[in-house]
Structure 1
Amino acid sequence: MSTATSAGAGTATPATAALTADTALTAETAQTNQHYDLDPRIFGLFLDPMRKYSSGYYREPDLTLAEAQVAKLRFVADRLGLSEGDRLLDVGCGWGALILFMAQEYAARVVGISPAGNQHTYIAQRARELGVADQVTTVQGHFEHAALPAGRFDAVTMLGSIVHMPDLVHVMRRARSLLRRGGRYYVSETCFRNAAARDEFDRRTGTEFVRQSIFGWGDMRPLSDLVRAAEDAGFSVVSVDDLTEDYRRTIDDWLVNVDASAEAIERIRPGMAPTLRRYLEVANAGWGYTTKHYALVCQRSR
């Protein structure tokens, strides 16, 4: 069955009873779930039906948002070389789109970790509805410190979550330690275009709005910082894909949905629709100028 464990627990408990026990992180990083722990209905009103909250993959003409998100998950599986029955850890699992898809489509045994309590209850319910509850486990906590199920993984994924983790080398060393030899590590993240852009735009008004009003703590590093940390952690870099245009199109589709559902979003949380619109507009304004979005794949080769 789908279960959730608290960050300091050693045994599984029902997702509805999961409690965050990770008190070691700073207040800033703890605040990152202020956005992800919002009412699930809000995300259902502007994301795709799987509630996948990261870039789609628009490499075929006229794809809908839902189709692009399925294409992205197949892209991730391909980059990982995922096979039937593989064991996968998704760090920052969100509303479970990736872990539920990999369990359903690839018969993978999956573990998702997130600090946001609402997400675990939702994932447990969806796993039961999809008939994959025996393949899905979730852990509530922060990856840096959380107790995870024993055993090595064939793959570790971080889609849009490493931005909330201060110590890149620590995070990547832990990811590597959890992988079997030959296992792959997938990171997709929004990055400043280069170090100069980071220096210029890191404290601009729009950046601070996203950091403080939406996500709490976050740091968009240049791609070179991610590559250096991966290599310092002992990984071999396998591939780098530029998904900047894909993310721009994803956000365009999200904006259409926010506008179409603004009244319903406002009924759930007054003021949320214009806040979401401003956040998405800030994100889309930077693509290719100040920011990029990359998929980095690494391998534990030894």
Structure 2
Amino acid sequence: MPLFNRFLLQPAEERLANLPLPCSVQLPGGQRIGAAQPRLRFIVRDGRAFMHLAQGAIGRLAEDYVEGRLEIEGRLRDLMLAVPALFGTDPTHESTNMLPHLLGRMQRSLWERSHHSRAKDAAQVQSHYDISDAFYALWLDPLRVYSCAYFQTPDMSLAQAQEAKLDHICKKLRLQPGERFIDIGAGWGGLLLWAAEHYGVHATGITLSQNQYTYVNQIIERKGLQSRVQMLLQDYRDIDESQPYDKVASVGMCEHVGRPNLPIYFAKIYRLLKPGGLVLNHGITAGGTDNPQLAGGMGDFIEKYIFPGGQLVHASVMLEAMARGKLEALDAECLRPHYAQTLWHWLDALEAREREAREVLGAHAEKILRAYRLYLAGSAMGFEQGWMSLFQILGSRPDSVVETRESSPAKLRAVQCDYPFNREYMYTRTDG
């Protein structure tokens, strides 16, 4: 056995012994360590993978798996039971060592400034969303809603929960027939079309994905909605401000904006809104207050294989950015457990149609499928552990009109927006 393998053998055996289920490792020379009857079996093809296993470097191990340096035999759900113990520390905490901490912050600052130009944002969005429409159609719901669902009851199907989420957003925004509504980062058009068809709004959606732009416009034409719905291929920074909107939604978009640009992003939304209008921002947030990405290389894995340019911030940072954009936060709802359940649904659907996915993806199918299966399972586990979260934050552009009690005795004073300042309306059942 190579010297470095002998040096790493003891810490690797100790990690295996501390896992919550029986696991084993097969080394390149055929030697095995760990449980005699494992539920998970790691087959090391390259010494680097064994080093990463001994170190608990989860992101590096994931990369080893995608690149074929490591094989994993067993259920991904079992793997996700083992990951927190394998990692050994809380990945939402930054290093307390001062020098790496400062160097890391400097590197992130340079990265943040260079990764969110219009051209780079477009390229990064397209690298993820334009892999293949047919691939995403295999494991998303029929409306292709690629964001956290809303399980009003635990036994809801994914399709039912996604429709419930779309309706939940529309209710929060108090959409009314004839209002001007814009969905920033509209994806495959689920919310855009739901709002138009069920709430009678004049709806605009934007995306940087060529595939999504083409797909949604075909649906608009097929449904005969051209007079009330439009989909634009456009950067959020370039949205026309000359005709303000009554309501704005942003679902799964803020993760792509970048921390330094969040105040700019919300200031743009402020200018897009009519005074008194509402905005619903639905986005993934960091579980820790200070960490810019998950430690252990997990953030690096997502950056390389899944969402280049993506960045998470804590919900408190999101609220501060909204305030700096002159928006008033009205309501915040955490849907963290809902996203874990959504991701498990997606993984089950992808694994059930893996053969079709290979046909759709072609030459690069193996690497893409390995990356996406780990991404879906790992993200589900991350939401379960609280390493990441999901918040819907409802805000408004105040209209600065404070009515006196005498002029409007039946209304609350100082409302300044289209919001009743209680949650009852969100949960009231309506017919149709």
Which TM-score tier does this pair reach, normalised by the shorter chain?
A: 0.7 to 0.9
Q: Which residue of 2 aligns with 1:6?
A: none
Map 1:139-154 → 2, pairs under 5 A: 139-144=232-237, 146-148=238-240, 150-154=242-246
Q: Is 125-134 or 75-84 further displaced after alignment?
A: 125-134
Name the residue aligned to 1:187: 281
Normalising by the residue count of structure 1, what TM-score does the alignment of the two structures yield? 0.87
Greater relative contact order, per chain length (Cα 8 Å cut-off, separation 6+)? 1
**Cα drift, residue 216 of structure 1:** 1.0
1:85 alignment partner, one of 178, 187, 191: 178
The CA RMSD over aligned residues, in Å, is 1.7
Matching residue of 2:393: 296
**2:298 paired residue among 206, 209, 221:** 206
In structure 1, list runs of 5 or more residues that go unmatched: 1-22
Change (3 A) 1:47 1:111: same
User: Offset of 1:161 from its aligned partner?
Assistant: 0.7
Give the C-alpha shift of residue 147 in structure 1: 4.0
Partner residue, 2:268: 174
TM-score, structure 2 length as denominator? 0.62
Q: Per-residue displacement from partner, 1:201-243 (whole Å, max 9, x unpaired)? A: 5353222111221121011000011100111111111100010
Q: Which structure 2 residue ranges, 5 or more long, are not aligned?
A: 1-115, 400-432
In the TM superposition, what whole-angstrom CA distance separates every residue of 1:101-120 from its partner, at most 9, and x where no partner exists?
11111111111111111111
1:286 correspondence with 2:382 = yes
Kindly tell me: are residues 86 and 283 of structure 1, through their superposed partners in 2, closer, same or farther at Cα, counting changes over 3 Å? Answer: same
Alpha carbons 1:28, 1:216 under 8 Å: kept: no
Q: Secondary structure at the match of 1:231?
A: helix
Q: 1:24 to 1:163 in 2, by over 3 A?
A: closer
- Would you say how many aligned residue pairs link Structure 1 and Structure 2? 277
Can you list the C-alpha shifts for 1:236-273, whole angstroms capped at 9, x where unaligned?
Answer: 11100010011111111101110011111111111232
Aligned-pair identity (%): 25
Q: Equivalents in 2 of 1:31, 1:190: separation in Å?
A: 18
State yes or no: 1:277 paired with 2:373: yes
SS in structure 2 opposite 1:215? Answer: coil
Q: Distance in 2 between matches of 1:225 and 1:149?
A: 26
Are the aligned partners of 2:343 and 2:380 in contact in 1 as well (CA < 8 Å)?
yes
Structure 1 residue ranges (4+ consecutive) displaced by more than 4 angstroms after TM superposition: none
Distance in structure 1 (CA, Å) of the matches to 2:242 and 2:202: 13
1:156 matched to 2:248? The reply is yes
Corresponding position: 1:118 with 2:211: yes
Matched AA of 1:53:
Y
